[in-house]
Structure 1
């Protein structure tokens, strides 16, 4: 019987990849086959052991094929086979889900159907763990609002919901939601230890134990330790030897206590610590006519670095920050109390508290700029002359590194939520309903922020040990007294943001007949955010290390304290959101559905932005979707799900870059309610079982986006750089994205175990990132990747599983993202992972 269980688990995982299940009569046959004795000569037909797929997309447990929502589901065995340990990994296998990895694995933001999260907006794709939204970040650097390190272990499943989630879920989102459902403590003593080893010294260990303390108390403990060297090699000799590494430890304790026959209390405590070198971009182009090209040494320094990297390994990068390091610490407690009042009425209370602390010291553009040995300057007579830089040659200078201020954190935030749900149904099950109240509060534990240097030479950013070698050299070049020409500056941005969110909602399904069901939902949300920031900068006179402080907003005004530079902001917003839908079953295993939803994303504050653009208004979307979910059983078994959608956005929140006209102030970003956009497309998910032991699954998404209208505005002293121009696509969108898997289980004797070979191909077409009006390199070229997995479950009838895996099998060299800072002089790229080979052993008990 154990042998059957191992094989059944794998078969279930393969089918879950399509997010669907087989017809009810096929499932009955599967259960009968699973209980029958195995044939001596061969393992059973693969399709005979498919289990039911249950999801909680509507906050209740339902059969996936009965839920009128476009969604993708993965269970834990699939996540493990694909080496998914982060949201960025998950996006690689989910066509409708797009990741922005610019700020590293631990701070990846997500987009669905063209709805992306900009630097300082709330998330457009909500990430939920055990029905609780992810903790907020709140700082002026990315972080929070997503799945932190170590979130993807010991899960029941992951559910990716597409489209606005504005009625049932706590935090309004316009793009969708990703639900991480952890495994709940069970009634049997069991567990496992799993060890993976691979390239770049990969060592990934997971250990789980489930302990039924008695018939009323159940405990589950787990730890996940993942470490791998970085695949980006630092050739500068400054800071760590590699980047894009992994190094985290996560722990989780879950306790279920049956307080009474109908009263259950479920508590989850989790903690994680990630300590890595961070992500680092690689320069691939520079602009000789940029705003910084007027500085004599700039173009030569960028050109020299580009040549050094190109002459080295293709994964070579350069870093100039000796303290480059990213740490992420999180603590969270979730308590869910469920009281089944009677068979038709349930009361549930979900409370949580979390803390998130991030220290982010990284090189924003991946630069290690050194003053060249010679520069070409004007001779004052319409020509040029080459001048040696002498003693200044080889001195490094910075280009917007990001560092944590001394004694503070980049992000230092707490988040608490409280939700009360009342769920019920009529005695004849013709009406199922739920209503609830939601409250969320989040605020900085301590002031947090960042410091950033522009064209300085700094040996210690936190203690302001910097000098201005370029300004000193320019003074010498102009035969002035050294130190009279100021070029470099050290910026300081410290503050905090507080959020208050209240929601009241209700939703019901009305079963008009055995085939026709109507759904209606309504939510009213009231949001408030307040923020403050101290924004200042220090100027260094040539080689003099003693800085002069002034305010960014008051250039040239000498002040005595950063508190003089403080600004305070507040923004209130509220809106109703709703859902109207209908689904009709043409046959028991063929459902058609349609829905119309109004989505909303709160307005908020950005106290770190440029003056006049420190608050922004809510975003609104009207979403229309038609879909079909079909399961079939015959010569070819499987399912086929398709959805068509159209979204109309109003007051869309877009991130604009603001560059100082004279480059005297470091660039910054603001959120602008730019105008109107539209998106439309189609999504297909299918699994086929054409012959014995062979499974084919396909997920595909087509997306067409367009910024239809953009409002005019001005920001005195700054040049605005929009993410897209009218008529262009929305950021982080790709027209075509697919994931296809073929898996074959060898026809071996059942006593030997189940040996399965599978291959997955993922592809995405060109991805638009930023407008061509800002530079020529704002698009990520298309790429396709092959991944392999060979697993042997239940080796020789023992509770041992082994597997060998390869990701990016053909060693494709590709860009995962780009940062086209053309006006600042460079275009940089985030490189995707090279080929990774490894093996995995799991011992169950």
Structure 2
């Protein structure tokens, strides 16, 4: 359906690679983006404006005629609004959600669906596919990088498995970079701003011969941090990003071409930190809640106002990662159809450092999982060239991924007080130096064949069925070795010897202490396996009511592959082993219903696109923690059913050559329909356990009784606002009589309150907020200079809130960026 209007009015960037621009008609000007740069003017195929060409259905076609709910953001729009990564992009996309406590723990959701809320588990699939130039990216961490020389970003909503290589149940982000050009060209852009912000982008392209063209692109961003660490004097949440990309195009013949691409990206910020946001009351005894514990240890946070942006970490912090790879794309036009091959190899290297309790107290001083991923993929597609009433796309996809992770967690001298009860809570040595060293490996193979037809029964009526047959095989290994060495305790526990060590404790008190230690960090070893075939499909009926009014209805049955747990399993009843029944999670089963209408009026000056959707997900893959209050990382389990339904719209209006405005919005009602054994929110946790589901004391009763688990059926899914909007526009005036113009633009967005905890909690709702970005500048031909202010009203808001291990009532948060401002100068030549 919908086309994000910040760029519905922006098409040449999206279309220039595939269609020549026609002359503009002064009487009926083509729409322009809110930024209005020449780079963003659409190729005009009608008096009022031009089509934006997209490849959502694996062929170039007008976005207004594609019967898919989708939005498009062009490269010019990305540049002028500062949406240089997915986190910024979500401000322009009401149905898109992006969450990142650090690059590894990142998730892209669409309509509230995609990945479970919480820390990343290596063994789970993403529900939203992330593609760059047709290559599926297996780790969402790569999406935190800056976009490099991007032509457009397509955001497809709903299941896409019959068109795309990897099965995706919630949608796809399809990033297309600018291709090599046989006409010499170059681009350069420099931005400077407060917090010592400097961003530079450059690209050059041109022919090496009559048949070979090259494109080289780069982007670099640096910025001082926005959070002050009063312990080290460092500014945290800085930006240090560098990306380079090269593409070589060879037109081997008029019907055959090859594109060889390679990229390297490195990101080295001092992040990611959360800090004191608020304190709530839990079911723990009052003396074991945060305020009492902090007082007992003579600790005061550097500020109880989270928007003072101060923290006091007592351990190193960093989030360094590298992403790179190479791909070869071949297109062979056989006349009636085109054969496409996409071969790719990629890697991802993650090297973090963390102070995991996010306080100046030595509770959990380390909890980090350095990881190395490698992937290879091969996709073949055979697509008709649209010359008959029956068009088709058929394909095959093979994907192989390996991940090696070296995890570690270390408890400090304050851990006993925060995590334990009884006598051991007053003995720092019980947990001081307790260390878990984890070895994790993952092997993932996926194979699929897929296809989609487009049958034109009449010139106006089309039926488009699709089918996918998919096979997934996953295997993994997880081992945690637990050790401690201090003045009082010294042992190494493995899955093989933990029972022997427990039996060897000389007294009941010693046995209790050892039990407390291995319950905090459990030695375990297991090797999960999963494999399954599944078949999915969809059918779309579309009808052209008029040349500029197109309607469609879609039903899709899709599957998200089952997963394996690779973050540790809950203990079994003996507390010296693990519950092996939780090694795997079942596939999600998705039924998606959608209707949409795409319209243009007033000679294409006014666009209004609408979509309504209803998605049911059975066996929803969720993160749970078995109500263990001292566990940082939960494990995966299946909730009975969730549902997401809503309405989306995009609209734009250009009443004159001087003014353009846009509004996009989404109402999304996403909730758990059936989740009776969910983890409890913090206000119901930490007390004496009772019979399953039997809450016998009000929430937040110190020393009260807690249920073993909670029924959260009917409650909201995390991370999704019921209401979200993006809106803005631009006004320009001609100057100097030679094509120059001055302009002023505004881009805003709003999202209503949303839950930041897998089980909705009174303490972790993030209240609704709105952000405003403004810009003003001068442009002429290929030159553009403008000043900008982002978050112009310095709105204080959280990107996420979370609880900490121990369930003491402490809630920590990650704030959004404060007001920033600067100047951008760009030139094309």
The TM-score with structure 2 as length reference comes to 0.84
Residue 565 of structure 2 corresponds to residue 606 of structure 1: yes
Structure 1 equivalent of residue 310 of structure 2:
316
**1:113 matched to which residue of 2?**
111
1:155 shift after superposition: 1.1
2:351 aligns to what?
359
Any idea what SS the aligned residue of 1:88 has? helix
Q: 2:778 aligns with which of 792, 813, 819?
A: 792
Q: Is the 8 A contact 1:772 1:778 kept in 2?
A: no
Show the 5 A alignment for 1:56-135: 56-104=55-103, 107-118=105-116, 119-120=120-121, 121-135=124-138
**SS in structure 1 of the partner of residue 617 of structure 2:** strand
Map 1:444-523; keep pairs closer than 5 Å. Answer: 444=403, 447-456=404-413, 485-486=430-431, 489-523=434-468
Alpha-carbon distance between aligned partners in 2 of 1:513 and 1:522, rounded to the nearest angstrom: 23
Question: 1:101–1:830: 8 Å Cα contact kept in structure 2?
Answer: no
Deviation at 1:295, TM superposition (A): 5.9
User: 1:151-170 counterparts in 2 under 5 A?
Assistant: 152-170=147-165
The reply on whether 1:550 has 2:543 as its aligned counterpart is no
**Which residue in 2 is equivalent to 1:641?**
609
Match of 1:233 among 228, 232, 254: 228
Deviation at residue 172 of structure 1 after TM alignment:
1.2
Q: Confirm or deny that 1:748 pairs with 2:735.
A: yes
The aligned counterpart of 2:620 is: 652
1:632: which partner in 2? 601
Alignment pair present for 1:615 and 2:584 = yes
| Residue aligned with 1:823, SS | coil
Distance in 2 (CA, whole Å) between partners of 1:757 and 1:316 is 35
Using the TM superposition, give the Cα deviation of residue 772 of structure 1 relative to its aligned residue in structure 2, in angstroms.
5.7
Partners of 1:88 and 1:814 lie apart in 2 by: 15
d(CA) in 2 for partners of 1:312, 1:712: 33
Matches within 5 A, 1:121-520: 121-136=124-139, 144=141, 146-150=142-146, 152-237=147-232, 241-287=234-280, 289=282, 291=284, 299-301=292-294, 307-310=301-304, 314-321=308-315, 323-342=316-335, 344-369=336-361, 397-399=362-364, 401-404=366-369, 410-425=370-385, 427=387, 429-444=388-403, 447-456=404-413, 485-486=430-431, 489-520=434-465
**Once the 2 structures are TM-superposed, how far is the Cα of residue 296 of structure 1 from its aligned partner?**
9.6
Look up the SS of the partner of 1:660 in the other structure: coil
| CA shift for structure 1 position 755 | 2.2
Map residues 563-574 of structure 1 onto 2, 5 A cutoff: 565-574=524-533
- Is residue 107–residue 148 contact of structure 1 (8 Å, CA) maintained in 2? no
Q: Equivalents in 2 of 1:90, 1:540: separation in Å?
A: 48
Deviations 1:79-134 (A, max 9, x none): 11111122111111100001112225x75311111203132221111110001111
Is 2:642 the counterpart of 1:677?
yes
Give 1:381's aligned residue: none
Preserved CA contact (<8 Å) 2:108 2:115 = yes
Q: Deviations over 1:314-349 (max 9, x none)?
A: 11122121x21111111111110111112x111111
1:778-810: per-residue Cα shift (whole Å, max 9, x none)? Answer: 21110001101223222xx5x422111111000
2:594 and 2:611 in contact (8 A); partners too: yes
The Cα shift of 1:829 comes to 1.1
**Which residue matches 2:511?**
none
Whole-Å Cα distance in 1 between the matches of residues 763 and 497 of structure 2? 34
Distance 1:99 1:312 in 2: 22
Relative distance call for 1:687 and 1:157 in structure 2 (3 A) is: same
Taking structure 1 as reference, are residues 552 and 656 closer, same or farther at Cα in structure 2, changes over 3 Å only? Answer: farther
The 8 Å contact of residues 320 and 398 in structure 1, kept in 2 or not, is answered as no
Contact 1:744 1:756 (C-alpha < 8 Å) held by counterparts? yes
SS of 1:80's equivalent in the other structure is helix
Residue 836, structure 1, aligned to residue 805, structure 2: no
Question: CA 1:667–1:135 in 2, change beyond 3 Å: closer, same or farther?
Answer: closer
- Contact 2:58/2:163, CA 8 A, preserved across alignment: yes
RMSD: 3.6
Between the aligned partners of 1:329 and 1:202, the Cα distance in structure 2 is: 22
Post-superposition offset of 1:712: 4.1
What count of residue pairs does the alignment treat as equivalent?
754
Task: Report the TM-score when normalising by structure 1.
Answer: 0.82
* Aligned residue in 1 for 2:670: 705
Please state how far the C-alpha of 1:165 moved relative to its aligned partner.
1.2
Contact 2:13-2:75 at 8 Å conserved across structures: no
Decide which of 710, 723, 747 is 1:736's aligned counterpart.
Answer: 723
Q: Is the 8 A contact 1:495 1:533 kept in 2?
A: yes
* C-alpha distance in structure 2 between counterparts of 1:471 and 1:167, whole Å: 49
Change (3 A) 1:724 1:305: farther
Q: Is the 8 A contact 2:745 2:776 kept in 1?
A: yes
Q: Give distance in 2, aligned partners of 1:189 and 1:426.
A: 32
Helix, strand or coil: the match of 1:301?
helix
* Whole-Å separation in 2 of the counterparts to 1:328 and 1:320: 23
- Check the 8 A contact 1:20/1:639 in 2, yes or no: no
Q: 1:771 to 1:605 in 2, by over 3 A?
A: closer
Q: Which residue of 2 aligns with 1:464?
A: none
Inter-partner Cα distance in structure 1 for 2:303 and 2:800: 18
CA contact (8 A) 2:314 2:365 kept: no
Alpha carbons of structure 1 residues 722 and 32: separation in structure 2 relative to 1, 3 Å: farther
Where do 5+ consecutive residues of structure 1 fail to align?
A: 1-10, 22-26, 37-42, 137-142, 370-396, 405-409, 458-466
Cα distance, 1:590–1:28 mapped onto 2, change above 3 Å:
farther
Q: 2:484·2:491 contact (CA, 8 Å) conserved in 1?
A: yes
